[in-house]
Amino acid sequence: MRSLPVYVWRELQSAVTLLDENSSLRETLGVILSWIRENYKCFTVEPFSTYGIDEFSHVDESLMPVEFSSLLPSDITQFKKVIFGYQANEADAIARFLRDTIEALITVETDKQCPKCQSDGMRIFIGRYNGLLAYQCDVCGHSNYSDGSKVSGGELEFVSEKRLRELNMI
Ligand SMILES: [Zn+2]
């Protein structure tokens, strides 16, 4: 399936009309995640599963450091514009945009420079198996653990606000 059912896509467009620059980032995240959970089956297939959209439905957003996101409430207007700009059949673009938006909402950025493409700013994740912090570049997608070792596919998890505090990252 390379398209979302039109009525499902319209549901999100309709839900975001309730958001404006006075809405919080947490409300925005809530709107996106409820929509994903209500339409879960649509996201277990490609291209959505490739971008992990189905996985986001399992995130406990109350534990996530949304208030430390690099996004600003003023970015909500741009977010709405993009959502209204896409048609239901632009599934790849929708999947990528949702993944990038949700990731930006629930991760924090450090001022570290990417060792591969030299872009500034990497997002913090944590290793599912080794508990090490990991840094991921938004621009080229490169990631490595804090000890410099390589990250393999499926190893990274989102870091809770509590854990980031314990590690003095926020
Ligand atoms: Zn990079």
Residue ranges per domain, the chain? 6-106, 109-166
Nearest to 76, CA basis, from 16, 140, 1, 151: 16
What distance in angstroms lies between residue 142's CA and the mean position of ligand 1's atoms?
A: 5
For 67-87, what is each residue's pLDDT tens digit? 999 999 889 999 999 999 999
Ligand 1 is an ion; its neighbours by CB within 5 Å are 114, 116-117, 119, 137, 139-140, 142
Q: How many whole angstroms from 19 Cα to the centroid of ligand 1? A: 32
d(CA 77, CA 85): 12
22, 80 in Cβ contact below 8 A?
no
Label residues 71-99 b or e (16+ Cβ within 10 Å = b): beeebbeebbeebeebebebbeebbebbb
Q: Are 9 and 84 in contact (CB under 8 A)?
A: no
Tell me the pTM.
0.93
The 10s digit of each residue's pLDDT in 19-37 is 988 999 999 999 999 999 9
CATH of domain 109-166: 2.20.25
pLDDT in tens, 89-125: 999 999 999 999 999 999 999 999 999 999 999 999 9
